[in-house]
Structure 1
Amino acid sequence: MGYDRAVYDAANEILAARRLHAEQEAERRRADLYRVQPRAQEIDRKLSRAGTAAARAVLHGGDVRQNLEQLRRRSHALREELRALLAQQNMTEADLEPHYHCPLCQDRGNIDGRMCRCMKSLLKEEALRRLNADTPLKLCSFESFDVSYYPETPQINGSSPQQMMERIFLYCRKYAETFNAHTTESLLMTGKTGLGKTHLSLAIAGRVTERGFGVVYGSAENLLKKLQDEHFGRSRGDTMNSLLNCDLLILDDLGTEFRSSFTVAAIYNIINSRQLTEKPVIISTNLSLKELTEYYTERFSSRVIGSYTCIPFVGNDVRQMKHR
């Protein structure tokens, strides 16, 4: 999945903390046992030396089988004695071992080179947490989208704004439910401010992230400012890598950013690079198709208009209606 490097780092930090806590708790339980049962510590030391003794028995020759059998019987007797001491404290041998949060990978995040399901879950949770921190994600779900705010008249090509927005809502929900990082189309959401472009793009972001994909969501203004600051050394980061490699990139409010030769080139590079690697993008903008061409050159508009699915939002300013 194309998560931001910071998401991976955060998930690894959580796993490391879990692992450390489990091992420290095991050491604490062992120390408590030794304090009330000193003999248990002595037995542990003898058992730890048993492996070395077995290796020596093999290296020194002689009757190796007999020597190993004696060591096995001795170790067995020591373990039985240790179990009895543990039982006196209402403990078992399992209490002396770390109780990892994930017993499958022991909080390492991978099993034989494959990502463990606990790591996948952590990545999804961390990505959602970051998305929630930066955007009003909980306020912008599919469940909270209300088409009744859109007028039932006038008719536009045989449909009312409400009917058109109902179809757009269903399309966006299906887009999120069937999203695939390599085969899903890119979207261009156009229309005046307050018509629900941000709401539905955030709803898509939340659902796609819940399904385990890496989503980068942000206003064009904020993301381009980050790129510019990193490019000119005013801050450190790897924003461009995240924008190019995430499973889904959502650029909200394209056209509100301060335009310069740098930002125009950066936007073109992002759109062109993701198109070449077949990674989907969702762009929302208040600009018309003609204004997109005027603002970002024909090279940019030909990429977007020629290959993106255009979704025109219609109706009245829903935000103003809700405020009233």
Structure 2
Amino acid sequence: MALTNSQYETIMKLYEARQTNSRHLLEERTAYVMKHIPGYNEVRNEIASVSVRQGKQLLLGNKDAIEDLKTELARLRRKQDALLTDASLPTDYLAPVYECPACKDTGYIDGRKCHCFLQAQIDLLYEQSGIRKMLENENFSTLSYEYYQGEDLTRFKNTVLTCRNFINNFNSDYHNLFFYGTVGTGKSFLSGCIAKELIESGHSVIYFSATGLFDTLSKYKFDYRNSDDLRSSYGDLFESDLLIIDDLGTEFTNNLIASELFSLINDRHLRKKATIISTNLSLEDFRNRYSDRIFSRITSNYEICKITGPDIRMYKKRLQNRK
């Protein structure tokens, strides 16, 4: 996936900070050696002089200049190593220090993203998703069918299969999901399962409760100062690979909210950016609460998944109270 400009800049600032720290550390070590190890600076200057002298010999056609230079530099570096060792310092004390030696803190190896860049990308995506803590417990590794029976179990299994297909085909098939049904039946849980899998594969995921989403939209619309963080969050709503809107219907709804929701889901649809919406409302209540055009966008462009069953959160709470 392609990072947004702001996301890429955030990661590159991390590498700039690493390079600055490395440079400062090397400067401090060099200053220490020059001050406390007699003779080291003289050897350093001799290395520079030898390099210049042999370079001139090479220009004059001396074919042995390169080999002579290698031999002399090796001798002088052994002398440097001895001086460092005598001062109880490692021989690589004045070598650059990198957090990632593989890419030397540039983030790239031969034009490809280093493993450390990919990890920084995942860490950033987790941070920006807003659901790092939630996904520690809500993921496919903790999925269970034990709370469902009969038709409820069939629906849940079918929805899980839909979620796995959504993940497996994410890069090749633009798709949206709409989870609806009774309270506490696993709608948010399945959204989290999808989010974790996609973040781990390097996709940007933004999670909002419905209340938090419309609070952000309202702040952006009416706060004309628009801080950098707010502008970035607003832009990510439209550019992230996946947007999750959880518990739609719990927010205070009016014509402005409905209009903002339509603009958001319509814009993401035009950009072919995936969206997952979950709600406790029935389809009829959803249609009545919002508008026909929103309902039409949902039913036309989203796969509708109904999830029913017991309130798992309440069930777990009752079990805890019995202990």
TM-score between both structures, scaled by the size of structure 2? 0.82
Distance 1:285 1:10, change over 3 A: same
1:191 equivalent among 181, 191, 213: 181
1:221 equivalent among 177, 199, 211: 211
SS in structure 2 opposite 1:200?
helix
- Structure 1 residue 162 corresponds to structure 2 residue 150: no
Q: Which residue of 2 aligns with 1:155?
A: none
SS in structure 1 opposite 2:245?
strand
SS in structure 2 opposite 1:147?
coil
Deviation (angstroms), 1:309? 0.7
SS in structure 2 opposite 1:65?
coil
- Structure 1 residue 291 corresponds to structure 2 residue 285: yes
Deviation (angstroms), 1:148? 1.6
62-71 or 269-278, which deviates more? 62-71
SS in structure 2 opposite 1:273?
helix
Between the aligned partners of 1:220 and 1:48, the Cα distance in structure 2 is: 65
162-171 or 207-216, which deviates more? 162-171
Q: Which residue of 2 aligns with 1:128?
A: 126
Checking the alignment, whether the CA contact within 8 Å between 2:139 and 2:193 is kept in structure 1 is yes
Distance 1:248 1:310, change over 3 A: same
- Structure 1 residue 27 corresponds to structure 2 residue 27: yes
- Structure 1 residue 97 corresponds to structure 2 residue 57: no
Note the residue ranges of structure 1 that are not aligned, 5 or more in a row: 153-158
Between the aligned partners of 2:254 and 2:25, the Cα distance in structure 1 is: 56
Q: Which residue of 1 aligns with 2:299?
A: 305
Checking the alignment, whether the CA contact within 8 Å between 1:2 and 1:245 is kept in structure 2 is no
Between the aligned partners of 1:309 and 1:230, the Cα distance in structure 2 is: 30
SS in structure 2 opposite 1:25?
helix
Checking the alignment, whether the CA contact within 8 Å between 2:130 and 2:206 is kept in structure 1 is no
Q: Which residue of 1 aligns with 2:267?
A: 273
One-letter code of the match for 1:122?
A
- Structure 1 residue 249 corresponds to structure 2 residue 243: yes
Distance 1:63 1:299, change over 3 A: closer
Between the aligned partners of 2:59 and 2:171, the Cα distance in structure 1 is: 64
Checking the alignment, whether the CA contact within 8 Å between 2:129 and 2:204 is kept in structure 1 is no
Between the aligned partners of 1:46 and 1:230, the Cα distance in structure 2 is: 63
Note the residue ranges of structure 2 that are not aligned, 5 or more in a row: 319-323
Q: Which residue of 1 aligns with 2:193?
A: 203
Checking the alignment, whether the CA contact within 8 Å between 1:247 and 1:280 is kept in structure 2 is yes
Q: Which residue of 1 aligns with 2:202?
A: 212
Distance 1:65 1:81, change over 3 A: farther
SS in structure 2 opposite 1:183?
coil
1:83 equivalent among 69, 81, 84: 81
Distance 1:208 1:99, change over 3 A: same
SS in structure 2 opposite 1:148?
coil
What do the CA deviations read for 1:29-85 (whole angstroms, capped 9, x no partner)? 434433442211222234346666677x49xxx973359939937655533432332
One-letter code of the match for 2:147?
Y
TM-score between both structures, scaled by the size of structure 1? 0.82
Deviation (angstroms), 1:5? 5.8
Deviation (angstroms), 1:204? 1.2
1:137 equivalent among 135, 138, 144: 135
Checking the alignment, whether the CA contact within 8 Å between 2:107 and 2:117 is kept in structure 1 is yes
Checking the alignment, whether the CA contact within 8 Å between 2:138 and 2:193 is kept in structure 1 is yes
Checking the alignment, whether the CA contact within 8 Å between 2:40 and 2:83 is kept in structure 1 is yes
29-38 or 135-144, which deviates more? 29-38
Identity of aligned residues (%): 28
SS in structure 2 opposite 1:47?
helix
One-letter code of the match for 1:65?
G
SS in structure 2 opposite 1:190?
strand
Between the aligned partners of 1:89 and 1:171, the Cα distance in structure 2 is: 66
SS in structure 1 opposite 2:206?
strand
